[in-house]
């Protein structure tokens, strides 16, 4: 089943229109229902608009049909090609970080939807030549160097092979040991070439694309693609260039992590909600190819011009090599905040936070923010980790238990013989031991390795937690 970000938006609500964090009070359900309805309507409109754009070429083709008496299966193959190309044309728009869209669905949900729709596009594109070949078209057309191949076919074949290369690099990137930064660069270049070659193939073939209406439609789609690319690669970095940040501290943390504390230079910074993230770029300018989505780990209760902290675990070349060597005074660029994984949008009588690995970063932001607000609602934190030394922020969480209504449950996979706490993994029995009686009304936030989130999304409903109260943040975007 294709994941739709609309499923995500139905569970989200936002802070009040004044930009202040909403305060939980009894008897405010009516207001929450109105906010939820607004967000659902926005999600329906955006998702419906996306489906309309993907299928609109078929409508134009049906209205301006050139005729020709071809079989249904051939026409179906042509339709698959048009749908696949339309999906690819709008793929870049899903990850261009347009805040009016990401605010409705959550940027991480859009990133996942982008990836899954990419695979859907591949299926439609593959169906296009297969259906044609089954209707008598020669298989030799797949050989771009066949002497009988025409230029209009060659462009399509080149686009097909580049698309398969794009998918192969995505699926096998880690096995091929391709760095995230190089993958970002090649992904952008190859995907642009795929769309360019596919458009050339479409216009040279003629038939449906020979009509003025279809040519005008694809011209608009192409201009949209170019416009989004210019926004993402040119306009957005220019705006970031005018709002630089500087590193004022780089502190090592437990669990092979480092916390970078950033200060805005010549601007007031930005307000954010606890649990949100930003894209971080290091380099002389924000035009640098490396961009990393990092959760904000500091309190959201900060004045204008306040410092923001990001905690980064050593998981690759950049996080394990570049981040530890960053010195105070280094220039950094931020694009944010993004994300709907925040307690400010999900009000309830209490919260259950379940984190693992560096997924503990947004959990710390939530706890620090609630403590700064003197929020008295109960919070239960389950923190799964390999061993005691890997528990990032353990001293901070222990100190927070004296400042707020917080209970911390450390769960170690491979503890020492002297460890007297919970062992193994968070499971249903463990949850039942620590959750309060009214746990079915609490809001649940889960962030960590995919196996942890998958397990919690299965276990929590089994113990009676409504699915609408379960929220996850997945940073494994590629």
- Asked if residue 290 has pLDDT above 50, the reply is yes
CATH number of the domain that 431 lies in?
A: 3.40.50.80
Lowest-confidence segment of 28-42, 275-289, 306-320 by average pLDDT: 28-42
Burial level of 437, CB count in 10 A (0-12/13-18/19+)? exposed
Q: Would you state the pLDDT for residue 393?
A: 95
> What is the band of 183 on the pLDDT scale with cuts at 50, 70, 90?
confident
Residue 75 shares a structural domain with residue 90? yes
Top-confidence residue, 447 or 99: 447
Q: How far is CA 255 from the centre of its chain?
A: 24
Q: Quick one: 201 and 72 in the same domain?
A: yes
pLDDT score recorded for residue 68: 64
Same domain, 384 and 466: yes
Residue 67's pLDDT is 64
DSSP string, 386-417: SSGGG-TTHHHHHHHTTTSSEEEEEEESS--T
**The pLDDT value given to residue 369:** 97
Q: Are residues 117 and 190 in the same domain?
A: yes
Domain limit, last residue, from 190, 210, 239: 239
- pLDDT bin (cut points 50, 70, 90) of residue 12 is very low
| Same domain? 371 vs 406 | yes
| Residue 234 and residue 263 in one domain | no
Task: Encode pLDDT of 327-353 as tens digits.
Answer: 999 999 999 898 889 999 888 999 999
Q: What is the pLDDT of residue 14?
A: 34
DSSP bridge partners of 309: 261
pLDDT band at 205 (very low <50, low <70, confident <90, very high): confident
d(CA 412, CA 435): 18
**For range 167-178, the mean pLDDT:** 88
Output the pLDDT for position 110: 82
Q: Among the three residues 239, 258, 273, which one is the final residue of a domain in this structure?
A: 239
What is the structure's pLDDT at 361?
94
Average pLDDT rounded to a whole number, residues 39-46: 74
Residue 406 forms beta bridges with which residues?
A: 379
Asked if residue 362 lies in contact with residue 297, where contact means CB atoms within 8 angstroms, the answer is: yes
Q: Give how far the C-alpha of residue 279 lies from the chain's centroid of Cα atoms, to the nearest Å.
A: 11
DSSP 8-state secondary structure symbol assigned to residue 318:
I
pLDDT by residue (tens digit) across 245-255?
A: 999 999 999 99
Task: Provide the pLDDT confidence category of residue 305 given band limits of 50, 70 and 90.
Answer: confident
**pLDDT of 16 above 50:** no
pLDDT, tens digit (0-9, with 9 covering 90-100), for 351-394: 999 999 888 999 999 999 999 999 999 999 999 999 999 999 99
Tell me what the mean pLDDT of segment 84-95 comes to. 88
What percentage of the chain reaches a pLDDT higher than 70?
89
Most confident of 102-116, 142-156, 248-262: 248-262
pLDDT band at 284, cuts 50/70/90? confident
Same domain, residue pair 373 and 255: no
**pLDDT range class, residue 32, cuts 50, 70, 90:** very low
User: pLDDT by residue (tens digit) across 130-150?
Assistant: 999 998 888 888 888 887 778
pLDDT of 354 reads: 96
pLDDT for res 46: 80
Distance CA 442, CA 348 (A): 6
Lowest mean pLDDT: which of 18-27, 295-304, 359-368, 460-469?
Answer: 18-27
Cis omega before residue 337 (within 30°)? yes
Choose among 39, 45, 51: nearest CA to 9.
39
Confidence of residue 439 (pLDDT cuts 50, 70, 90): very high
Question: 290 lies in a domain?
Answer: yes
314 is in which domain, residue-wise? Answer: 245-338
| Residue 21 lies inside a defined structural domain of this protein | no
The CA distance from 159 to 458, in Å, is 40
Q: Decide if 33 is inside a domain.
A: no
Domain count, the chain: 3
269 and 224 fall within a common domain: no
Looking at the fold, whether 93 and 231 belong to one and the same domain comes out as yes
Choose the weakest-confidence range: 95-109, 122-136, 193-207, 275-289.
95-109
**Are the C-beta atoms of 60 and 207 separated by less than 8 Å?**
no
In a domain, 98, yes or no: yes
Domain end, chosen from 293, 312, 338, is at 338
234 with 358, same domain: the answer is no
Tell me the whole-structure pTM to 2 decimals: 0.78
**How far from chain centre, in Å, is Cα 413?**
28
């Amino acid at each position: 089943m294709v994941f739709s970000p609309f499923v995500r938006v139905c569970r989200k609500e936002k802070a009040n229109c004044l930009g202040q964090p909403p305060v939980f009070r009894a008897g405010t359900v009516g207001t929450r229902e109105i906010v939820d309805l607004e967000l659902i309507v926005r999600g329906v409109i955006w998702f419906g608009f996306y489906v309309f754009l993907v299928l609109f070429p078929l409508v134009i083709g049906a209205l301006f049909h050139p005729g020709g008496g071809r079989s249904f299966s051939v026409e179906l193959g042509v339709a698959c090609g048009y749908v696949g190309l339309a999906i690819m044309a709008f793929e870049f728009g899903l990850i261009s970080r347009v805040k009016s869209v990401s605010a409705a669905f959550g940027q991480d949900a859009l990133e996942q939807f982008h990836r899954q729709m990419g695979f859907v596009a591949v299926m439609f594109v593959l169906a296009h030549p297969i259906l044609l070949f089954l209707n008598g078209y020669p298989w030799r057309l797949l050989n771009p160097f066949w002497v009988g191949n025409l230029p209009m076919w060659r462009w399509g074949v080149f686009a097909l092979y580049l698309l398969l290369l794009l998918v192969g690099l995505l699926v096998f990137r880690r096995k091929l040991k391709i760095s995230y930064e190089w993958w970002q660069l090649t992904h952008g270049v190859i995907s642009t070439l795929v769309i360019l070659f596919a458009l050339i193939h479409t216009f040279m073939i003629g038939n449906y694309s020979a009509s003025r209406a279809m040519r005008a439609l694809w011209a608009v789609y192409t201009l949209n693609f170019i416009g989004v690319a210019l926004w993402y690669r040119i306009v957005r970095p220019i705006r970031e260039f005018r709002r630089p940040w500087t590193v004022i501290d780089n502190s090592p943390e437990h669990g092979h992590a480092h916390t970078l504390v950033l200060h805005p230079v010549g601007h007031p910074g930005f307000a954010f909600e606890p649990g949100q993230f930003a894209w971080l770029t290091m380099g002389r300018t924000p035009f640098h190819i490396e961009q990393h989505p990092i959760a904000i780990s500091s309190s959201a209760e900060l004045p204008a011009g306040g410092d923001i902290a990001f905690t980064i675990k050593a998981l690759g070349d950049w996080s394990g090599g570049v981040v530890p060597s960053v010195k105070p005074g280094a220039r950094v660029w931020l694009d944010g905040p993004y994300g709907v994984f925040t307690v400010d949008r999900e009000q309830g009588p209490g919260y259950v936070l379940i984190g693992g690995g560096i997924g503990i970063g947004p959990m710390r932001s939530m706890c620090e923010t609630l403590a700064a607000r003197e929020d008295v609602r109960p919070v239960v934190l389950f923190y799964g980790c390999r061993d005691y030394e890997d528990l990032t922020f353990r001293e901070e969480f222990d100190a927070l238990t004296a400042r707020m209504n917080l209970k911390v449950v450390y769960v170690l996979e491979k503890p020492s013989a002297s460890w007297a706490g919970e062992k193994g993994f968070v499971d249903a029995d463990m949850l039942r031991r620590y959750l309060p009686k009214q746990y079915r009304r609490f809001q649940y936030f889960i962030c960590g390795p995919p196996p942890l989130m998958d397990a919690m999304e299965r276990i929590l409903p089994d113990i009676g937690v409504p699915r609408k109260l379960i929220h996850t943040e997945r940073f494994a975007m590629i």
